Structures are given as C-alpha cells and as structure tokens.
Amino acid sequence: QVQLVESGGGLVQAGGSLRISCVASGFTFSRYAMSWYRQAPGKERELVAALTSTGDRTKYADSVKGRFTISRDNAKNMVYLQMNSLKPEDTAVYYCRGMLSVATMEVFGSWGQGTQVTVSS
C-alpha cells in the first residue's frame, strides 16, 4: 500500500526557514507527480505545491509563491519543501501526497501523519 512519511517540521520564528521531507513507498515513485498540502486548525486542507514526476514543472499556491520550493529525488523516493521567509500564517500540519498528474490534480493513496510546522511571531 501507499505510504508517506513526513518529517522535518518544527518551531521557527517568522522570517526563518525550514525544509521538510517526505519519503514514499508502495508505488513507483518516479512515475507520479507529488504534492504538499497543509491544514491549519479549523481550516480546510489546501494545496501548497505540486511538481511533475520528473520535477520539471511546478505549481504553487499564491500565498507561498516566491517563498517555498518543492523538489524531489527520485532515487531516494523523497520529496521536499523548502520554506523560506516563513510567516505565522504558514503554521499548519504539512502533508505530502501522490498525484496522477499536476494537470489533473487527482491525488491517490491516503494521508499520512503529516509534520507540524509552527511559525512564531
């Protein structure tokens, strides 16, 4: 079965940076797009970023453009989210998820535990 394990979250001050990671298993990682979502307390889960299977094209939420960078290492079945210039509103649990394609935005598998990112003001 599809398994996704996020890590690297933590507490950071506003303006700081953090890099979170996700290791995937249970599917042919290199064939699929990957994405990052986040969910803040009381809010709906939202797409943060997505990238193609080869990592050649990306999509970002307007709120994180210019600050966050999604990347992947297919040899390691890993996807990363580099977060710079963090703001308190970035505080959320971050999840990774496989996508059939960035174009369709159709996800597969299931949600993992996520990793908590807390940005203090």
pLDDT in tens, 17-44: 999 999 999 999 999 999 999 999 999 9
Tell me the average pLDDT of the chain: 97
pLDDT of residue 13: 98
Q: Which helix (H) or strand (E) holds 116?
A: strand 115-120
The CA–CA distances, whole Å, from 36 to 2, 24, 50, 121 equal: 16, 13, 6, 23
* pLDDT band per the 50, 70, 90 thresholds, residue 45: very high
pLDDT of residue 33: 98
Mean pLDDT for the stretch of residues 94-107: 94
Encode pLDDT of 103-115 as tens digits. 989 999 999 999 9
Rounded CA-CA distance 30/34 in Å is 9
Rounded CA-CA distance 81/42 in Å is 23
